[in-house]
C-alpha cells in the first residue's frame, strides 16, 4: 500500500507526541502505541505511516560508527528488530517527501540522518546536524543522550567538509562552557574531537588541565586520571614530549589516592589503568623503575628515553607489602603485574 502524504499530514505530530520522551526510543514507543490504535480504528493509511516512523525511530544510534551509525534496537535467537536495511525505495521516497514538514528536532534529525546514510546526499546531512544540535539543547547540557547527539553531529560534519569547522567550534564552545567540568561529559567530547583530530590542541590541553584541578579538589581520582590522559594526548599533538610524559606520570600516580584498603577488585582496575597509562608513552624506557618495569615488560615494550621518578605501580592491591593478591586473595607479599599475576622478585 502506498504511503500518502495526506495521511502523514493528518497525523498532527505535535499533538501525537505531546508528553513523549524526547529521545528516539521514547518516540518509537509512542508511534507503536498510536499504530495499534489506528489499526483498531481501521485507519490503514495512518497505521502504515506510524509503523514506518516507529521503525525509523527505533534504530539504535551508535555515533562511533561514522558511516553506518544505525543498528537494530534488539537481536535475539537469530532474530532482530527493525533495521535501516529494511527500508526500500518506496519508504525512502515517502520519507524524503515529508521530512521538511517535521518540526520536532529529534524526529527531524532521525529522518534526515536515515536519508543521509541511505541516499548519501549532503543536503540531508546538513539538516541532520542542525536537528541533532537542537535535540541536544532540548535534552540538557551534560547527559549521555546529549553527548550521543553531539558526537553524531560531529561525525556527519567530518563527512561534509563545509560543516566541519562550524561544528568543531560549537563543540569547543561547549567545552569552554563546562570548564573545570565535574563530570565526564567534557572528557567524552574531547575523545570525539581526538578521534577525528579536530580542535586546537593548546586550548584543549588547558581545558583538560582545568578539569584535572577540579577532579583533584573533588577527590575523584578516576576522573582526574581520565583528564590527565587527555591532557597528555593534546600535548602529544603539540609535540611537547615533556608535558606529555609528565601528564601520563601524574595519571599513573592517581592510582595511590584512588585505591581503597582491602578492595582488590577496585585496586586491580586502577592498577591496570595506571600500567596502561605508563606503557602508552612511546619514549619511556622501563629500566628507570623496577616495579613499573615489570608491568611494562609484560606488555613486551621497550625503547627510548627514561622517565625519572615514576613510582612502583604494581604492588599488591592492598597498598602494602604482604597484602592480598588480586588473583588468589592470599597474603603473597609479592609484586603483581597488571593482570594480577604474582611476579618473581
Rounded Cα–Cα distance for residues 300 and 275 (Å): 13
- Picking from 26, 28, 23, the residue whose alpha carbon sits closest to that of residue 55 is 28
> In degrees rounded to 5, what are phi and psi of residue 334?
-120, 165
User: Mind listing the pLDDT tens digit for each residue in 78-91?
Assistant: 899 999 999 999 99
The pLDDT score that the predictor gives to residue 256 is: 67
User: Mind listing the pLDDT tens digit for each residue in 147-190?
Assistant: 999 999 999 999 999 999 999 999 999 999 988 888 999 999 99
The pLDDT score that the predictor gives to residue 289 is: 41
Rounded Cα–Cα distance for residues 182 and 214 (Å): 7
Give the contacts of 271 (CB within 8 A, at least 6 positions apart): 255, 313, 314, 317, 326, 336, 338
Q: What is the DSSP string of 268-320?
A: HHHHHHHHHHHHT-TT--GGG-HHHHHHHHHTT---S---TTPPP--S-TTSS
Give the contacts of 61 (CB within 8 A, at least 6 positions apart): 24, 69, 70, 148, 152
The pLDDT score that the predictor gives to residue 150 is: 95
Answer whether 160's CB lies under 8 Å from 123's CB.
no
- Picking from 183, 123, 125, the residue whose alpha carbon sits closest to that of residue 154 is 125
Q: What is the DSSP string of 181-202?
A: -SSSHHHHHHHHHHHTT-S-HH
The pLDDT score that the predictor gives to residue 280 is: 52
- In which residue ranges of the chain is pLDDT below 50? 263-264, 281-345
Q: Give the count of beta carbons closer than 10 Å to the beta carbon of residue 248.
A: 28
Scan for cell 609528565, then name that residue: 246
The pLDDT score that the predictor gives to residue 71 is: 92
Residue spans per domain, the chain: 201-273
Amino acid at each position: 500500500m502506498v504511503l500518502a502524504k495526506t495521511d502523514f499530514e493528518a497525523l498532527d505530530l505535535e499533538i501525537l507526541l505531546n508528553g513523549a520522551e524526547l529521545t528516539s526510543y521514547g518516540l518509537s514507543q509512542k508511534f507503536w502505541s498510536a499504530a495499534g490504535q489506528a489499526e483498531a480504528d481501521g485507519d490503514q493509511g495512518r497505521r502504515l505511516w506510524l509503523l514506518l516512523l516507529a521503525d525509523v525511530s527505533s534504530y539504535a544510534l551508535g555515533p562511533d560508527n561514522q558511516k553506518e551509525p544505525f543498528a537494530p534496537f534488539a537481536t535475539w535467537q537469530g532474530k532482530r528488530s527493525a533495521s535501516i536495511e529494511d527500508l526500500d525505495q518506496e519508504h525512502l521516497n515517502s520519507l524524503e517527501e515529508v521530512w521538511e514538514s517535521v518540526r520536532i528536532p529529534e524526529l527531524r534529525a532521525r529522518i534526515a540522518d536515515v536519508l543521509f546514510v541511505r541516499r548519501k546526499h549532503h543536503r540531508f546531512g546538513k539538516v541532520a546536524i542542525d536537528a541533532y544540535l537542537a535535540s541536544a539543547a532540548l535534552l540538557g547540557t551534560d547527559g549521555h543522550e546529549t553527548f550521543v547527539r553531539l558526537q553524531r553531529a560531529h561525525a556527519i560534519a567530518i563527512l561534509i567538509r563545509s560543516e566541519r569547522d562550524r561544528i568543531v567550534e560549537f563543540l569547543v564552545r561547549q567545552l569552554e562552557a563546562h570548564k573545570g567540568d565535574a563530570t565526564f561529559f567534557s572528557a567524552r567530547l574531547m575523545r570525539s574531537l581526538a578521534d577525528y583530530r579536530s580542535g586546537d590542541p593548546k586550548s584543549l590541553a588547558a581545558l583538560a588541565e582545568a578539569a584535572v584541578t577540579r577532579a583533584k579538589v573533588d577527590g575523584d581520582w578516576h576522573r582526574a586520571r581520565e583528564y590527565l590522559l587527555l591532557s597528555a594526548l593534546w600535548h602529544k599533538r603539540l609535540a611537547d614530549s615533556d608535558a606529555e610524559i609528565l601528564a601520563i606520570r601524574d595519571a599513573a600516580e592517581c592510582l595511590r589516592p584512588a585505591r581503597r584498603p582491602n578492595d582488590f577488585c577496585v585496586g586491580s582496575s586502577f592498577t591496570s589503568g595506571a600500567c596502561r597509562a605508563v606503557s602508552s608513552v612511546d619514549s619511556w624506557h622501563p629500566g628507570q623503575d623496577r616495579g613499573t618495569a615489570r608491568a611494562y615488560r609484560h606488555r613486551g615494550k621497550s625503547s627510548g628515553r627514561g622517565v625519572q621518578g615514576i613510582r612502583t605501580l604494581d604492588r599488591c592491591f592492598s597498598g602494602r607489602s604482604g597484602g592480598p593478591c588480586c588473583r588468589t586473595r592470599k597474603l603473597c607479599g609479592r609484586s603483581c603485574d597488571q593482570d594480577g599475576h604474582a611476579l618473581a622478585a
